[in-house]
């Protein structure tokens, strides 16, 4: 492959949305940020220069980072942050991956505005396993707050309560023509199309805290790829993406003429918003159709439309072709069961005398003050322990009467895995406070989603329904509210790898942990040494 060089200047810039103006952190002054283009096998060098008065890091979400954990990006997990005035070159190779991924800040809540697409094309002269599109379009879905997002989360942490929800969702940076703010009517995103042509939409959910449905009025969408892994194509009118997930679809412009509304709308209701009016809109406009010609709208699915959500999720299968086989681990070396959920801890200084916390297996993760990967590589003791519980330490039963498993302890605890071990991880939602999905993201790996169900996972009967043939392969999975999801992966990437809920608020509250994967014995089985410009804490 070739080498691609990018420069990311992190700078503040003023943007006006929803009729009000604020300064936001951006890359190169763009919101959403620049798209990073490469081909499978290419090496990418991104020099990130910090021109803002606070720490930043950038994560390349879904990039495997084989043996290059130093370039992964989560602050205090794989690196110390890039301090004001400093820079760092992220250096990684796109091995065995092609499709849509994305990059985002991975510190505090900066990813609200510091994010953009990664488009990895197949190797030169290698076709897509689906009909070639006439044109490709990136659609980044996100959220917009009128107030400063760092203030939003800091306020929530001080009060112990949930943070305010966003004021709008956005499609390519705009709330859209139906957002209700007169000035945004002009600036919604428009996709011009020609009748009869085929478009590949590369859709990314970069929202902080919301699963989103996606629809295009008058058009069916054929799903061909998720999280940079090809799928068996299937056609639907509604997509569901959790924060962190990407979906590629083919859209054929077959309506002849007119203007068609695109919607991105929340899946679950937010406790703070009685009637949600934050649906983002954009338009698909046929050539020769003037702005005033007939506009076809679509009704987004109602909130909590779990049937729509599960029918989409259940339709996803790996392509599993000869060229792209699904390499599902057939046996399991480490069988883990993690509970994921929210709880409450006493807090004397908080508004209600209590604070919302989140945990995995009753451990609310405490961020260290130095990077875990460095502590691991240089054998620094006292930074973390490797005794993360592989099973819930307290008995649980979330669907019937107690025990309820409410206790939360804190710690910087990791789970250690030998090189190349196969891991099965069942994620059990606890739904203790209320119904909520948890989009769980694993760094450094793709995993196969071998099963899911409602209620309690039963280690005796549940595995009999696992799909070990063509389960979907991805890097982020929504664990259903009051249910469970089982994933499998092979630990063939040495390093320290973050696992966390991609709802930023849940991560902040502690719904995170990390795996430490040891080096193997053979050549090319160990973590590479850290680059010279790796920031220090």
Do 444 and 398 meet the contact criterion of CB atoms below 8 Å apart?
A: no
Choice between 90 and 498, CB closer to ligand C2O: 498
Q: How far is the CB of 207 from ligand C2O (least distance, A)?
A: 11
Q: Show contacts with ligand C2O in window 393-412 (CB under 6 A).
A: none
**Which one of 59, 278, 376, 488 is in contact with ligand C2O (CB under 6 A)?**
59
Q: How far is the CB of 59 from ligand C2O (least distance, A)?
A: 5
Binding mask 298-327 for ligand C2O (x = CB under 6 A): ------------------------------
Q: How far is the CB of 496 from ligand C2O (least distance, A)?
A: 12
Does 443 bind ligand C2O (CB under 6 A)? Our answer is yes
Choice between 365 and 396, CB closer to ligand C2O: 365
Binding mask 218-247 for ligand C2O (x = CB under 6 A): --------------------------x---
Do 458 and 483 meet the contact criterion of CB atoms below 8 Å apart?
A: no
- For 487, residues 6+ apart whose C-beta sits below 8 A from its C-beta are 424, 425, 427, 442, 447, 448, 449, 450, 477
Distance CA(498)–CA(351), nearest Å, equals 31
Which residue stretch of 34-42, 121-129, 465-473, 498-506 sits at the interface with ligand C2O (rule: CB under 6 A)?
Answer: 498-506
Residues in the chain: 537
Binding mask 99-128 for ligand C2O (x = CB under 6 A): -----x-x----------------------
**Which one of 44, 50, 55, 61 is in contact with ligand C2O (CB under 6 A)?**
61
Choice between 177 and 439, CB closer to ligand C2O: 439
Distance CA(394)–CA(361), nearest Å, equals 8
Parallel/antiparallel/unpaired status of strands 473-474 and 221-226: unpaired
User: Residue 230 to residues 148, 268, 472: CA-CA distances in angstroms?
Assistant: 38, 27, 9
* Long-range contacts of 348-356, Cβ-Cβ distance < 8 Å, separation of 24 or more: 349/158, 350/158, 350/159, 350/160, 350/161, 351/159, 351/160, 351/161, 352/160, 352/161, 354/160, 355/160, 356/160, 356/161, 356/162, 356/433, 356/509
- For 458, residues 6+ apart whose C-beta sits below 8 A from its C-beta are none
**Which one of 17, 474, 488, 500 is in contact with ligand C2O (CB under 6 A)?**
500
From the number of C-beta atoms within 10 Å of its C-beta (0-12, 13-18, 19+), residue 196 rates as exposed
CA 514, distance to chain mean position in Å, is 16
Distance CA(514)–CA(282), nearest Å, equals 38
Which residue stretch of 276-284, 330-338, 351-359, 496-504 sits at the interface with ligand C2O (rule: CB under 6 A)?
Answer: 496-504
**Which one of 17, 169, 376, 441 is in contact with ligand C2O (CB under 6 A)?**
441
Residue 246 half-sphere exposure toward CB, CA atoms < 13 A: 29
Q: How far is the CB of 286 from ligand C2O (least distance, A)?
A: 35
Does 215 bind ligand C2O (CB under 6 A)? Our answer is no
Which residue stretch of 84-92, 233-241, 285-293, 494-502 sits at the interface with ligand C2O (rule: CB under 6 A)?
Answer: 494-502
Tell me the number of residues near ligand C2O by CB under 6 A: 11
Q: How far is the CB of 434 from ligand C2O (least distance, A)?
A: 24
Choice between 202 and 317, CB closer to ligand C2O: 202
Distance CA(11)–CA(81), nearest Å, equals 16
Instruction: Enumerate binding residues for ligand C2O (CB under 6 A).
Output: 59, 61, 74, 104, 106, 244, 441, 443, 498, 500, 502
């Amino acid at each position: 492959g070739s080498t691609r060089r990018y420069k990311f200047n992190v700078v503040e810039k003023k943007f006006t949305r929803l009729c009000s103006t604020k300064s936001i952190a951006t890359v190169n002054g763009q919101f959403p940020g620049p798209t990073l283009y490469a081909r499978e096998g290419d090496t990418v060098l991104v020099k990130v220069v910090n021109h803002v008065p606070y720490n930043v890091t950038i994560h390349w979400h879904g990039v495997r980072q084989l043996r290059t954990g130093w370039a992964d990006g989560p602050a205090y997990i794989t690196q110390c942050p890039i301090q004001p005035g400093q820079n760092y070159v992220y250096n990684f190779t796109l091995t065995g991956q092609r499709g849509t991924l994305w990059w985002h800040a991975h510190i505090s809540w900066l990813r609200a505005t510091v994010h953009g697409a990664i488009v990895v094309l197949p190797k030169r002269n290698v076709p897509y396993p689906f009909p070639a599109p006439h044109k490709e379009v990136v659609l980044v879905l996100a959220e917009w707050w009128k107030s400063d997002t760092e203030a939003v989360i800091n306020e929530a942490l001080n009060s112990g309560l949930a943070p305010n929800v966003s004021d709008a969702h956005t499609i390519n940076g705009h709330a859209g023509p139906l957002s209700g703010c007169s000035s945004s009517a002009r600036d919604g995103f428009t996709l011009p199309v020609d009748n009869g042509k085929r478009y590949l939409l590369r859709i990314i959910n970069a929202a902080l805290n919301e699963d989103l449905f996606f629809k295009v009025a008058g058009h069916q969408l054929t799903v061909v790829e998720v999280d940079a892994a090809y799928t068996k194509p299937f056609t639907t009118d509604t997509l569901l993406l959790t924060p962190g997930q990407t979906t590629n679809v083919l859209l054929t412009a077959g309506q002849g003429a007119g203007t068609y509304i695109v919607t991105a709308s929340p899946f679950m209701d937010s406790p703070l918003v009685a009637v949600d009016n934050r649906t983002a809109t954009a338009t698909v406009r046929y050539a020769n159709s003037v702005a005033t010609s007939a506009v076809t709208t679509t009704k987004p699915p109602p909130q909590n439309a779990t049937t729509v959500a599960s029918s989409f999720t259940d339709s996803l299968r790996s392509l599993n072709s000869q060229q792209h086989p699904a390499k599902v681990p057939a046996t399991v070396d480490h069988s883990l069961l993690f509970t994921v959920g929210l709880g409450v801890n006493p807090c004397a200084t908080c508004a209600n005398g209590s604070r919302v916390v989140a945990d995995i297996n009753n451990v609310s993760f405490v961020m260290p003050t130095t990077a875990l990967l460095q502590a691991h590589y240089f054998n620094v003791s006292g930074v973390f322990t490797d005794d993360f519980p592989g099973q819930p330490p307290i008995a649980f039963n979330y669907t019937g009467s107690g025990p309820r498993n409410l206790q939360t302890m804190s710690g910087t605890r990791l789970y250690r895995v030998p090189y190349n071990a196969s891991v099965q991880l069942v994620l059990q939602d606890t739904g203790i406070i209320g119904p909520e999905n948890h989009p769980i993201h694993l760094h450094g790996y793709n995993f196969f989603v071998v099963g899911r169900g409602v209620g309690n996972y039963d280690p005796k009967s549940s595995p009999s329904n696992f799909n070990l043939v063509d389960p979907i392969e991805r890097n982020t999975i929504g664990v259903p509210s009051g249910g469970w999801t089982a994933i499998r992966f092979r630990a063939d990437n040495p390093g320290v790898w973050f696992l966390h809920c991609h709802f930023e608020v849940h991560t902040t509250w502690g719904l995170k942990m990390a795996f430490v994967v040891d080096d193997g014995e053979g050549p090319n089985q160990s973590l590479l040494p850290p680059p010279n410009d790796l920031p220090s804490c």
